[in-house]
Amino acid sequence: MTRPRRVIVLGGGLAANTFVAQARALGFDGDLDVLAAESRTPYARPPLSKAVLTGAAPPESTSLPFDPAAARFRRGVAAVAVDPVERLVTASDGTALPYDALLVATGSSARVPGPGTLTVRTIDDVTVLRDRLTTARTALIVGSGFLAWELAAGCVAAGVDTTVVTRPAPLARTLGTELAAMLISRARAAGARHVVAADPIVRADAGGTAVAVGASILRGDVMIGAVGCASNTAALPARWRSARAGGAIEIDELSRVRAGGGGGLVPDVYAAGDVTARVLGAGSARSPLWTAAIAQAVRAARTMLEVDGPTLSDDVPYCWTEAFGVEIRLAGVVPSGITPLIDGEGEGGALWRWPGAAAAVNRTMPIPRLKRLTVEPVPAHEPVDTKD
């Protein structure tokens, strides 16, 4: 393949920004056009449900390092269609842009569990929520993952009576039963209520919005959904979407797009970030997380420009959360049914370990060290050196 001269990036968030920086760092000197639906410069979303929600950090503090000269950024201009035969992208301002290679980094949108529900995906969303919390007395949050508990922490900090409605065993698949229970007990101690429902239904109600949990009806002045996100693929050819991955764009370990559901490679098209699902064996899995978006974007730039380096298969999964005074940084995949080894407690925090996973809880530890621990045998109750 000859090196592309005209590259178009769809999306203006973390993955797009990382790709642009990496492509230039690798010496790409051709045309780079970025179509970005949002009119802001790239920003980090993780603080939105944490420090920005509580007011500890202003929205502007989320800006990502960004070089306006690295590409032609078209802010507030979305891609509306891609023609892979003519290799043309049509933009919302009516222009048609030809490409030699394409990066899809359109991210995802929050799923809305029912009418009248707020979600947090953008700076505008969190601004609306903060505003509502100034007058609300009660908040109802529907969702079982990190985001639900982070939002609950923000609502409690705002002095709002907060209830989280989750499916059974929230967080346990990601954190393991014991660490999940620790985080939830901190939430309860801080005043959040926890209601478990196999199938909560958010619905319009005479009194506004309500959640039906069995025969009970729960109401909040503010209703917030944290029930996952769906890949933004409306502008893309239907055959690129994967039904088995909930409509996400499947990529291989080199960030190359495969036509949906295990189809062949789509020539010169790459994808990174929340819009993707990684092909793994006979299936595929989404990983809508910060470090996955960066790794996929870096890999996409390398593959597009034919530069060797680690593949996505070499990467150890990593994620983090902060809520109710608990900061958890987790590397690897927590195995089910195995009791963790817990080293330390109190002021200095603790290190939790399982075969194949390690979590630093309120403890500072370099991410590479944490990742390395996932492949080291878990010792029988010995202190672990946490320095790099």
Ligand X SMILES: Cc1cc2nc3c(=O)[nH]c(=O)nc-3n(C[C@H](O)[C@H](O)[C@H](O)COP(=O)(O)OP(=O)(O)OC[C@H]3O[C@@H](n4cnc5c(N)ncnc54)[C@H](O)[C@@H]3O)c2cc1C
Chain positions contacting ligand X, by CB under 6 A: 10-16, 35-38, 45-46, 48-49, 78-79, 105-107, 120-121, 147, 232, 235, 273-274, 288-290, 293, 319-321
Chain center to CA of 308: 26
Residue pair 20/65 in contact (Cβ under 8 Å)? The answer is no
Residue pair 351/363 in contact (Cβ under 8 Å)? The answer is yes
Residue 74: CB atoms within 10 Å: 20
Taking the least distance from each CB to ligand X, the nearer of 97 and 140 is: 97
Angstrom distances, CA of residue 374 to CA of 70, 202, 310, 379: 37, 39, 18, 12
Q: What is the chain's percent helix, strand, coil content, to nearest 5?
A: 25, 30, 45
**Residue 199 CB, nearest distance to ligand X (Å)?**
25
> Which residues make Cβ contacts (< 8 Å) with residue 147, sequence separation at least 6?
49, 120, 226
Taking the least distance from each CB to ligand X, the nearer of 37 and 140 is: 37
Taking the least distance from each CB to ligand X, the nearer of 64 and 280 is: 64
**Residue 301 CB, nearest distance to ligand X (Å)?**
14
Q: Which two tokens stand for residue 291?
A: 């470090």
**Residue 189 CB, nearest distance to ligand X (Å)?**
22
Taking the least distance from each CB to ligand X, the nearer of 235 and 326 is: 235
Angstrom distances, CA of residue 166 to CA of 114, 170, 256: 15, 6, 36
Taking the least distance from each CB to ligand X, the nearer of 228 and 341 is: 228
In terms of Cα–Cα distance, which of 21, 15, 123, 2 is closest to 67?
Answer: 21
Taking the least distance from each CB to ligand X, the nearer of 319 and 378 is: 319
Compute the C-alpha angle 266/89/44, nearest 5°: 85
**Residue 316 CB, nearest distance to ligand X (Å)?**
13
**Residue 230 CB, nearest distance to ligand X (Å)?**
11
Taking the least distance from each CB to ligand X, the nearer of 16 and 160 is: 16
**Residue 43 CB, nearest distance to ligand X (Å)?**
8
Taking the least distance from each CB to ligand X, the nearer of 277 and 378 is: 277
Q: Residue 116 forms beta bridges with which residues?
A: none
SS3 261: coil
**Residue 321 CB, nearest distance to ligand X (Å)?**
6
**Residue 370 CB, nearest distance to ligand X (Å)?**
14
Distance CA(6)–CA(53), nearest Å, equals 40
Q: Residue 230 forms beta bridges with which residues?
A: 109
